Amino acid sequence: MSITQQRISPHILWATINRPEARNAIDFDVMDELEQLVESLEKDDEVRVFILSGAGKQSFVAGGDLKKFHTIQSKEKAVEMSKRMHDIFNRIERLPCWTVACINGDAYGGGIELMLAFDFRVSMPDAKFGFTQGRFYLVPGWGGLTRLVEKIGKAKALQWCGKAEVLSANSVLAHGLIEHILKGEDLESEVLDWIEKLTKNDRKFIQTLKGGASRFSPQRKESLEAEIEPFAELWIDAEHIQRVEKFMSRKKS
């Protein structure tokens, strides 16, 4: 299994992307299991808080698995992959329970896009946040640019993505990207302490409050969908392909 699950209590589900050998990067199996997990969360009326982390202490999610996704060689397939990830992230965003991304280690590229689909983000103090798609001649293609601009503003989002910045937890907290930095002494207990009050009301209340705060305008939907085409165009660009192949060859050596 690429994703493990633990029912902490009747109202709390903690899932972990379990690919530490690949720094918990998202591949096709993770996509499949995320879809299954989201479907179960949509139906489980008992879950009030859903927490997601990565296996191990070094990585939350290191983006998309370049080795696996490098098999996508046509624009049509790149569009298909991007649309599928959009659907998964949009469904996470609309879940009738609270969603918390537990940034237990470094987050890069698509890992940033994943955490942005959650209601809240709590982080280990030494986690790094890498807006590194640009190093591979890519722009965010899973809804991450729209959500990043919403969180930190246009200029800062362009700076971080344009420079392919890698930032500390304290830096991103200062700009409102994450909500809380944990002490880092006991991950599980600290996260459970932070979310404790979120469990007090049922899903009807949670869904009503989230719906009121997130009325999706047509413009927002268009903005999210507009990321797909430019991402797919760059995916098949020779510059992207060359940079990925160079990166993978360096990892082998």
**CA 179, CA 172: separation in Å to the nearest integer?**
9
Question: What mean pLDDT comes out for the span 20-31?
Answer: 97
Give the residue carrying structure tokens 């991450």. 144
Domains of the chain by residue range:
3-199
Give the per-residue SS3 of 77-97. HHHHHHHHHHHHHHHHHHCCC
Residue pLDDT, tens place only, 163-189: 999 999 999 999 999 999 999 999 999
Pick 3-199's CATH classification: 3.40.1130.10, 3.90.226.10, 3.30.750.24, 3.40.50.300: 3.90.226.10
DSSP 59: E
Q: Which spans in 44-74 are helix H?
A: 66-69
SS3 248: helix
DSSP 8-state symbol, 98: E
Q: Which residues contact 197 (CB under 8 A, 6 or more apart)?
A: none
How far apart CA 161 and CA 24 sit, in angstroms, is 21
How large is the greatest C-alpha to C-alpha distance in the chain, in angstroms? 54
- Give the span between the Cα atoms of 196 and 198, in whole angstroms: 5
Q: Is the pTM of this model over 0.75?
A: yes
pLDDT per position as a tens digit, 92-131: 999 999 999 999 999 999 999 999 999 999 999 999 999 9
Q: Is the pLDDT of residue 253 over 70?
A: no
The answer to whether the beta carbons of residues 37 and 97 sit under 8 Å apart is no
Per-residue model confidence (pLDDT) at position 181:
98
Hey, how many other C-beta atoms are within 10 angstroms of the C-beta on 161?
21
Q: Is 215 helix (H, G, I), strand (E, B) or coil?
A: coil
Distances (CA, A) of 129 to 58, 59, 177, 200: 12, 10, 10, 31
| Model confidence band, residue 239 (pLDDT cutoffs 50, 70, 90) | very high
Residue 217 binned pLDDT confidence (cut-offs 50, 70, 90): confident
For residue 28, what pLDDT is reported?
97
Distance CA 176, CA 234 (A): 29
